[in-house]
Amino acid sequence: MRRVNSFEVAPRTNEDEELLRRLLDASASLWNQLNYERRQNFTDPDIDKSVWDTEDYRKQYVSVLGSATAQQVIRKNSEAWRSFFSLKEKGEDNGLPGYWGNEEKGRILRIYIRNDQYSVRWSNRSTVELTVGKALKDEYDMGYREKLCLNVKGKPKWSGDQGRLELYYDETSNQYRAIQPVTIDDSRLDSPLADHSAALDIGASNLVACTTTTGQQYLYHGRDLFERFRETTRRIAELQSKLRNGRYSSKQIRSLYRGRTKRRNHAMDALARNLMGLLYSEGVSTVYVGDLTDVLETHWSVQANHKTHNFWAFRAFINRLTCTAEEFGITVEVRSEAWTSQTCPNCGSTTDTTRHQDTLTCPCGFEGHADLVASETFLRRYENVVRPMARPVRFKWDDHSWSAIPHAHRPNEQRTHPKVTTGESA
C-alpha cells in the first residue's frame, strides 16, 4: 500500500541554500525547455513531429542535476503529457501541460529525485542528502562522493520502501518542502480501527460541508475568500481597460494574477490539511467526494462558472484533497451526488423542497443548512449512519489558517428537524 510523508527541509548555510536554489531552478529550466518543444510539436502544423520527438535534454543538464535527476524531470513531464492525452480521449480538455514560470515572472522551483539518489536519516536531528551534478560540485568545491545535506523538520508518519522524492519551494510560507511516497505492508497500518467514512459537499459560498459516520459535521466558509477574489478580478479588468491598444497585460496585472492565485492555493492547501487532520482523528478511512461533472453541465451559470472553475478550481482541489488524504492513510472516492442538494432528509422529497441561500426548507416542516444537509444525504447514500448529528463546527479563513467560529444561538433552531441540528446560516 502506498502512503506519503510530507516534511519541511531547511538549508544549513547560505551557500547550501544557494546551491539548492540552483538545482531547483535548473530543474524548472529543463521542464520548460522540454515542454516548449513538445507544445510546438503538438500545435504547429508545419512541424512534422510527435511530442515524443525531442532533443536529448538530459545531456544538457546532466552536469548540473546529475543524469538520474535530469531523467526524473523528463519522465515527470512525459507523465503530464500522457495524462493530457488520456483526458483528451475521454472528451475532457484541461489544457496543455503548463510551464513552471520564467525568469521574469519567477519560476516554480521544483525537482524530482529518483529513490536511489537521495537518503533520509530520521533522528533527533534528521537530514536528507541529495545528489548534485559534477559541474556544481566543482563550483562549490564538493568532494567526489559528497552530497548536499539539508536539515529535516518533522517526523515521518510512514516507513517503508521510499519512492521518488519531490522537493519544492513554497513561496507562500517561504519554506522548502518535500513529498516522499513510501510503500508499506498492509499489516503495518497504524490505525486498524479507522473504519468510519465521511462525505463532502463542495461549493464556493461554503467551500466544504462535511458529515462523518461518527455524527460530526464541519463547515468551511468561503464568502470572504470569493469576494476578495472578485475584487482582485475587477481590479485586473479595470487595469486592462486602461492599457494601450495592442497591449494585453502589464507588470501590475501579472502581479495581481499571481497574488490572487497564491491566496486561493494557500487557502486550498490549508483547508485540505486541516480537514484531513480532523477526519484522521475521528477514525475516518474513506471520504466520498461528489462528481460535479453532470451538475456543472446542468446548472451552469456565469456566476457558478466563475466560482467553481475560476475561483475554486474544483479539479485542482480534488487532487490536493487526494494527495493530502494519502498522507493520512485516507482513501478518497468520487461518487455521484445527484439530487443530494434538493433532498429533504425528513420525508425524502426532491421536488417540494426550496433552497434560499444557505437554508433548505420543505413543506413537511423541515428546515436546515442546505450544504450540511446535502453532505449528510450524500453520506447516507453510501453508508449506514446511525448516530445523530452533533452541532457543526464552522471554520473561517483569516489569510493564514482556518479557525473555528463560536456558535451564535438562533431562535429558529428549535424548528429544525431533530435529526439535523444545522440550521445556522453560514
Report residue 294's pLDDT band, with 50, 70 and 90 as the boundaries.
very low
More confident residue, 388 or 368: 368
Looking at this protein, which amino acid is placed at residue 256? L
Mean pLDDT over 315-340 rounds to 82
Q: What is the pLDDT of residues 239-273, one digit of tens each?
A: 999 888 878 788 899 888 888 888 888 888 899 98
**190 pLDDT more than 90:** no
**10 pLDDT exceeds 90?**
yes
Mean pLDDT of 349-355: 84
Cell of 342: 434538493
Contact 380, 397 (CB under 8 A): no
Record the cell numbers describing residue 290, joined without a space: 461528489
CA distance 29 to 252: 25
- Evaluate if residue 293 carries a pLDDT over 70: no
- Average of per-residue pLDDT across 117-138: 93
pLDDT of residue 104: 65
Pairing of strands 106-107, 206-212: unpaired
pLDDT at position 102 is 72
Burial class, 228, CB count within 10 angstroms (exposed 0-12 / middle 13-18 / buried 19+)? middle
Work out the angle at residue 269's Cα, subtended by the Cα atoms of residues 13 and 375, and round it to the nearest 5 degrees. Answer: 160
- Would you give the end-to-end CA distance of the chain in angstroms? 39
CATH T-level fold of 196-415: Nucleotidyltransferase; domain 5 (3.30.420)
pLDDT cut 70: percent of the chain above it: 86
Give the cell for residue 104. 521574469
CB 137 within 8 A of CB 130: no
pLDDT at 410 over 60: no
Residue with the larger pLDDT of the pair 59 and 301: 59
Residue 300 or 69, more confident: 69
SS3 412: helix
Please determine, for residue 119, whether its predicted confidence score (pLDDT) is greater than 70: yes
Is pLDDT of 120 > 90? Answer: yes
Residue labelled with grid coordinates 425524502: 348
- Does the structure show a pLDDT above 80 at 185? no
Backbone angles phi, psi at 69, to 5 degrees: -70, -40
Classify residue 153 by its DSSP letter. Answer: E
Average pLDDT over the chain, rounded to an integer: 83
Strand-pair category, 284-290 with 331-335: parallel
Nearest by Cα to 370 from 290, 331, 33, 362: 362
More confident residue, 78 or 248: 78
**What is the band of 426 on the pLDDT scale with cuts at 50, 70, 90?**
very low
Task: Pick 261 or 235 by higher pLDDT.
Answer: 235
The residue with greater pLDDT, 192 or 205, is 205
Tell me the pLDDT band of 219, cut-offs 50, 70 and 90: very high
User: Which of the pair, 183 or 190, is modelled with greater confidence?
Assistant: 183
pLDDT tens digits for 194-207? 689 999 998 878 88
The domain locations on the chain are 2-188, 196-415
Higher pLDDT, 406 or 83: 83
The three-state secondary structure class of 280 is helix
- What is the rounded CA–CA span in Å between residue 390 and residue 382? 20
Tell which residue, 239, 263, 210, 5, has the closest CA to residue 120: 5
pLDDT value at 160 more than 90: no
List of residues 6+ apart from 321 with CB closer than 8 A = 200, 272, 275, 276, 287, 289, 332
pLDDT of residue 300: 42
Looking at residue 225, its pLDDT comes to 87
